[in-house]
Amino acid sequence: MPHTTVNAPVIRIRRATSNDLDQIIRFNLACAYESESLRLDPSAARIGAETVIADPTCGHYYLAENEHQAVGQCLVTREWSDWRGAWVWWLQSVYVLPAARRSGIFAELFHHVRNAARSGGAASLRLYVDQDNKGAIQTYRKMGMTQSHYRLYEMELSLSDD
């Protein structure tokens, strides 16, 4: 349900469809560059977003709209926690257009996803954020999220690795 405050836009949150694919790709390319100075391969970004749209087991995107224009998004993926016997929901590809920031767009997305996760029996919401993305860190703290005790490790893989 849309939420409004004085002088705030009317925000509608909805699940993305295949009609939103080009917008999702634009948001993903901008998100990667703004948050981590990464220039994603547009073809790979298209394959990634198409796969999510086509296969709901991979996740699903939520779009935030203001006057029928997409102004923000997030991707939700799920991870089974055998320790908790419940799902952990991950927020990924979080993006709000620069001109729409600080107007409650992310808060609406976050509250919508949090409520869906609660309704779905999720144990927690998680996300990762670049350690230098101070604005995002401040926003996530404002939403009530806290820094986890986990550290993230990664190994890039390619077909030529042995």
46-103, pLDDT tens digit by residue?
A: 999 999 999 999 999 999 999 999 999 999 999 999 999 999 999 999 999 999 999 9
pLDDT at 158 over 90: no
The closest of 63, 68, 62, 73 to 95, measured between CA atoms, is 73
Per-residue b or e along 100-114, where b marks 16 or more CB atoms closer than 10 Å to that residue's CB: beebbbbebbbebbb
pLDDT for 151 equals 87
Cα–Cα nearest to 112, from 84, 76, 140: 76
Residue 1 has pLDDT above 60, yes or no: no
pLDDT in tens, 129-157: 988 889 889 999 999 999 999 888 889 89
pLDDT computed for residue 8 by the predictor: 58
| Confidence (pTM) | 0.86
Q: Give the chain's domains with CATH numbers.
A: 11-142 (3.40.630.30)
